[in-house]
């Protein structure tokens, strides 16, 4: 980069400065009009989620599932409602209990969004029994004809249930509860997406209503999880309010100036309003993950706003008028702020490589929100402060703090890291920490590491319901389905059914598999029943006519109407990453050895199948995302500083923080999953802000001929306090999330707080230590940002 090109860029920046500050009233008018319009639009923002948005759409498992979704019964988006009889020695064979179940079943059946064609409970005609009598095979609905609630009817019901195969499915193993299977439609008759919040509210209303009649109701399923997350939105809003209060308190405690604090907080809130207003205009909405974006936008806005306010306050304290101080700060920090915000945008945007619509929605919303900060914080704050300035007392106080800082023990301690000995010790310590962290991070797992719904607390109502389901029905709701694709009308070929039978038997031996269900198992049981229960007939016989006959009477959930698809249901103990991987690996190995034109074994359907696909998508994106975010941050740092040495000084502390964050995830038993995947990208994108601001000032003074120690000291005096203020503000704000009822928000809060603090320490400790060796005194040939060339007022008395 030549001096001429630097001068041209500097001239362009001054032209932008004259354009903005020469039309300040127009800038304020346009911002006010835009705020009013987008504030009205923000009232239309919607919060919802969909089952499909959480899936990696291009993954082979998901493509297989979506290709056959209409033919897979009981494996889509569904809710299970278990109704228990809590009385001593109570069971489902109780007339009063059955009457409550019937009325509840009827009401749930009519809830909007329910797929009524596949709805199932003890009271639906599709719940049938099949038995072998002296007259042959007989069957019918499990609720006997002429049921009157009397002892004879209840005994007949018990016999029918015993022959229905529903024990462990619709009926609990101890017969103290029964379940209602509630499949859901992705869209209603009006074409609108399913409203999970409304569905959850209706189910909770039914729970409250019928529990007053002496039963206990337990509800599980993806829709209920999302409903609980939506209900937790109020808690998210409360934490946002806490973050605003905490940030305001920190900032006012630093400035002791009401007007400037109010302007910085207001401008950051304006950015949030613009974001919320733009979402409905662009056809976007807030989901369970993107609902955290407004807080992050506000926090980033406070960080950059504090830098601008600090610069203006110090310049006013040195005698500059309000307009001159605002223009000087704009000229001095605009490019550094722009590079930092672009780094934040990139940190969010790289999440687009993750093939999960919910994460891409988060990435787009966050990138959009940070982009608004370019206007509200880099332009609007200096323009507003050029009118109102800061209080004279606050300006004088800033100079006193700077004068005191020249003798401050903390600053003196940090200056030691510009000397060879302490710098070398700090770098050796960082290397040791990095190696220890990398060793611990080798145990970092992909996916969920806990049973139940990982999005919610272990003691949440949902997870207590999930534990009840697992205990009462002998299997969790985690089902992985293996599909066997065959030519049309040939799903019952003996050879195909026998291969399915072999896979089913092998999977039962895999740790974590609690049970299976398939056409092969149905053939075995029916053959035994047709031959007086003799165990020697428990086999898939080589008789095609007999297998065809049994298949014709089998439930359609085991094969489809055109008989070109078989389904093997695998019931798992949990959806932990290790459990899913064992099953997937076994099925893949089996398919590689047994696939043919007559039958291809396909993965996967069911909730656990989608979890497995998601884990694979996360695993394939994890390192790619890290390389992209670091590559983009390095590029932006190069543009700002034009020095590979400065890039290393800025980025290496971030690498250490990322490694230690992964080690912390191992220590806290947090896996890499959809909820935690964005954290590292956010930590890097936001964390580089500290280094960019400190290096901007440090390099300007080094270029002016000052030694490293003096240049770093001036950096601390000018921006060091604000870096500490920003780090503490961001960390405090996100750490309050630890009290959230939403577990993934609590996990994100812990990890982000850790990364914000470590990035702050890296900028204050490792940055001067690295600069001691990479940016030594007297080094020539460096070229720095045109935003800081020629600006000689940074940190001057």
Structure confidence at residue 399 (pLDDT): 66
CA distance 286 to 55: 17
What is the tens place of the pLDDT at every residue in 167-213? 888 888 888 999 999 888 877 666 677 788 788 889 999 999 999 98
Looking at per-residue confidence, does 609 or 54 come out higher?
A: 609
Instruction: Compute the average pLDDT of residues 62-70.
Output: 83
Residue 512 clears pLDDT 80, i.e. is over it: yes
Structure confidence at residue 787 (pLDDT): 40
Burial (CB count <10 Å: 0-12, 13-18, 19+), residue 545: exposed
Structure confidence at residue 682 (pLDDT): 73
Structure confidence at residue 797 (pLDDT): 35
Burial (CB count <10 Å: 0-12, 13-18, 19+), residue 688: buried
What is the tens place of the pLDDT at every residue in 666-692? 888 888 887 777 777 777 777 777 787
**Element housing 217 (H / E):** strand 216-221
Structure confidence at residue 130 (pLDDT): 75
Structure confidence at residue 16 (pLDDT): 80
Structure confidence at residue 4 (pLDDT): 47
Structure confidence at residue 563 (pLDDT): 87
What pTM, to 2 d.p., does this model score?
Answer: 0.77
Structure confidence at residue 796 (pLDDT): 39
Structure confidence at residue 478 (pLDDT): 79
Among 278, 273, 197, 196, residue whose Cα is nearest residue 240: 273
Q: Cis peptide before 725, with omega less than 30 degrees from 0?
A: no
Structure confidence at residue 637 (pLDDT): 81
Instruction: Compute the average pLDDT of residues 697-705.
Output: 82
Query: What is the pLDDT confidence band of residue 529, given thresholds at 50, 70 and 90?
Result: confident
Q: How many CB atoms lie within 10 A of CB 258?
A: 12
Structure tokens at 351: 């999440």
Q: Which residues of 221-255 are buried (b: 16+ CB within 10 A; e: fewer)?
A: bbbbbbbbbbebeeebeebbebbbebbbebbbebb
Structure confidence at residue 76 (pLDDT): 65
CA distance 663 to 433: 10
User: SS3 for 65-110, per residue?
Assistant: HHHCHHHCCCCCCEEEEEEECCCCCCCCCCHHHHHHHHHHHHHHHC
CA distances from 731 to 205, 343, 455, 678, 761 (A): 39, 19, 22, 17, 12
Structure confidence at residue 784 (pLDDT): 42
What is the tens place of the pLDDT at every residue in 631-659? 888 887 887 777 888 889 988 998 898 89
CA distance 238 to 274: 20
Q: How many CB atoms lie within 10 A of CB 83?
A: 25
Structure confidence at residue 782 (pLDDT): 47
Q: Map tokens 């990453």 to a residue.
A: 577
Structure confidence at residue 408 (pLDDT): 61
Percentage above 70 pLDDT, the chain: 90
Residue 89: which residues within 8 A CB-CB, separation 6 or more?
Answer: none
Reading phi first (left if > 0) and then psi (alpha if -120 to 50, else beta), residue 51 is in alpha
Which of 15-19, 158-162, 273-277, 390-394 has the least mean pLDDT? 390-394
Q: Map tokens 């993965």 to a residue.
A: 603
Instruction: Compute the average pLDDT of residues 303-310.
Output: 77
Query: What is the pLDDT confidence band of residue 37, given thresholds at 50, 70 and 90?
Result: very high
**Contact present, 369 and 275 (Cβ < 8 Å):** yes
CA distances from 237 to 311, 454, 701, 710 (A): 32, 21, 44, 45
Q: Map tokens 């145990």 to a residue.
A: 443
Structure confidence at residue 51 (pLDDT): 64
Looking at per-residue confidence, does 240 or 22 come out higher?
A: 22
Instruction: Compute the average pLDDT of residues 254-277.
Output: 88
312 Cα distance to chain centroid: 38
Q: Where are the alpha helices (DSSP H) in 110-215?
A: 151-162, 196-211
What is the tens place of the pLDDT at every residue in 113-155? 888 888 889 998 888 887 766 666 677 888 888 888 888 888 9
Structure confidence at residue 681 (pLDDT): 72
Structure confidence at residue 82 (pLDDT): 92
Percentage above 90 pLDDT, the chain: 14
**Contact present, 637 and 96 (Cβ < 8 Å):** no
Average pLDDT over the chain, rounded to whole?
Answer: 82
Instruction: Compute the average pLDDT of residues 99-116.
Output: 90
What is the tens place of the pLDDT at every residue in 702-756? 888 888 888 888 888 777 777 887 788 778 777 877 877 778 778 888 888 888 8
Structure confidence at residue 217 (pLDDT): 94
Most confident of 68-72, 466-470, 525-529, 722-726: 466-470
What is the tens place of the pLDDT at every residue in 458-489? 888 888 888 888 888 876 677 888 999 999 88
Residue 405 clears pLDDT 70, i.e. is over it: no
Residue 789 clears pLDDT 60, i.e. is over it: no
Structure confidence at residue 699 (pLDDT): 85
**Contact present, 362 and 287 (Cβ < 8 Å):** yes
Most confident of 156-165, 318-327, 735-744, 786-795: 156-165
What is the tens place of the pLDDT at every residue in 86-96? 888 888 998 99
What is the tens place of the pLDDT at every residue in 362-378? 888 888 888 898 888 88
Structure confidence at residue 101 (pLDDT): 92
Structure confidence at residue 48 (pLDDT): 62
**Contact present, 651 and 637 (Cβ < 8 Å):** yes
């Amino acid at each position: 980069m030549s001096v001429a090109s630097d001068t041209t860029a500097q001239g362009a920046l001054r032209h932008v400065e004259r354009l903005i500050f020469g039309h300040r009233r127009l800038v304020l008018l346009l911002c006010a009009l835009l705020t009013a319009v987008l504030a009205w639009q923000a009232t239309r923002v919607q919060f919802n989620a969909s089952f499909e948005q959480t899936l990696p759409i291009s993954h082979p498992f998901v493509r297989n599932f979506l290709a056959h979704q209409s033919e897979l019964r009981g494996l889509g988006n569904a809710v299970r409602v278990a109704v228990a009889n809590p009385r001593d020695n109570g069971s489902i064979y109780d007339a009063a209990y059955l009457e409550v179940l019937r009325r509840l079943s009827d009401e749930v059946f009519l809830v909007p969004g329910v797929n009524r064609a596949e709805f199932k409970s003890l009271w639906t005609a599709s719940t049938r029994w099949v038995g072998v009598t002296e007259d042959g095979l007989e069957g019918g609905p499990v609720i006997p004809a002429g049921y009157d609630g009397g002892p004879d009817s209840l005994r007949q019901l018990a016999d029918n249930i015993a022959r229905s195969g529903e024990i462990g499915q619709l009926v609990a193993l101890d017969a103290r509860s029964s379940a209602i299977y509630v499949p859901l439609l992705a869209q209603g008759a009006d074409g609108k997406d399913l409203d999970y919040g409304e569905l959850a509210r209706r189910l909770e209303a039914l729970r409250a209503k019928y529990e007053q009649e002496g039963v206990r109701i337990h509800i599980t399923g993806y829709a209920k999880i999302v409903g609980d997350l939506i209900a937790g939105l109020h808690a998210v809003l409360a934490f946002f309010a806490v973050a605003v209060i905490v940030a305001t308190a920190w900032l006012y405690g630093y400035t002791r100036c009401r007007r400037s604090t109010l302007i910085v907080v207001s401008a950051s809130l304006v950015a949030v309003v613009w974001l919320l207003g733009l979402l409905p205009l662009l056809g976007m909405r807030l989901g369970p993950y993107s609902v955290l974006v407004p807080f992050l936008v506000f926090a980033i806005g406070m960080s950059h706003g504090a830098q601008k306010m600090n610069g203006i306050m110090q310049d006013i304290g040195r005698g500059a008028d309000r307009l001159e101080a605002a223009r000087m700060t704009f000229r001095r920090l605009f490019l550094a702020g722009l590079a930092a915000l672009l780094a934040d945008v990139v940190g969010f945007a790289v999440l687009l490589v993750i093939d999960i619509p919910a994460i891409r929605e988060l990435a787009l919303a966050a990138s959009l929100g940070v982009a608004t900060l370019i206007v509200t914080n880099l332009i609007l704050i200096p323009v507003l402060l050029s009118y109102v300035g800061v209080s004279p007392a606050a300006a004088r106080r800033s100079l006193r703090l700077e004068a005191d800082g020249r003798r401050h023990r903390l600053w003196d301690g940090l200056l030691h890291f510009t000397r060879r000995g302490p710098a070398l010790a700090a770098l050796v310590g960082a290397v040791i920490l990095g190696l220890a962290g990398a060793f611990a991070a080798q145990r970092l797992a992909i996916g969920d590491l806990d049973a139940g719904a990982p999005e919610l607390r272990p003691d949440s109502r949902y997870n207590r319901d999930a534990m009840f389901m697992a205990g009462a029905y002998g299997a969790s709701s985690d089902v992985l389905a293996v599909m066997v694709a065959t030519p049309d009308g040939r799903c019952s070929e003996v050879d195909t059914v026998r291969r399915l039978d072999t896979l089913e038997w092998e999977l039962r031996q895999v740790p974590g598999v609690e049970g299976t269900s398939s056409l092969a198992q149905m053939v075995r049981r029916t053959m035994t029943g047709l031959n007086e229960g003799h165990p020697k007939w428990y086999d898939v016989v080589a008789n095609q006519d007999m297998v065809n006959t049994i298949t014709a009477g089998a439930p359609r959930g085991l094969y489809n109407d055109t008989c070109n698809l078989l389904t093997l249901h695998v019931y798992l103990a949990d959806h932990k990453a290790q459990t899913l991987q064992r099953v997937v690996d076994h099925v893949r190995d089996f398919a590689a050895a047994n696939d043919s034109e007559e039958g291809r074994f396909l993965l996967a359907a069911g909730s656990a199948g989608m979890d497995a696909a998601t884990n694979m998508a996360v695993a394939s994106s994890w390192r790619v995302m890290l390389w992209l975010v670091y590559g983009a941050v390095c590029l932006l740092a190069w543009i700002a500083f034009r020095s590979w040495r400065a890039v290393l000084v800025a980025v290496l502390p971030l690498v250490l923080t990322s490694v230690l964050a992964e080690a912390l995830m191992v220590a806290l038993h947090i896996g890499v999953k959809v909820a935690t995947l964005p954290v590292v990208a956010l930590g890097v994108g936001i964390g580089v802000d500290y280094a960019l601001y400190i290096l901007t000032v440090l390099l300007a003074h080094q270029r002016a001929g000052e030694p490293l120690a003096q240049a770093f000291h001036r950096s601390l005096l000018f921006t060091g306090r604000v870096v500490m203020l920003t780090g503490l503000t961001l960390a405090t704000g996100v750490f309050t999330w630890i009290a959230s009822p939403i577990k993934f928000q609590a996990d994100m809060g812990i990890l982000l707080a850790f990364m914000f603090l470590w990035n702050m320490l890296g900028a204050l400790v490792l940055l001067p230590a690295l600069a001691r060796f990479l940016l030594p005194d007297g080094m020539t040939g460096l070229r720095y940002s045109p935003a800081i060339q020629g600006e000689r007022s940074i940190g001057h008395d």
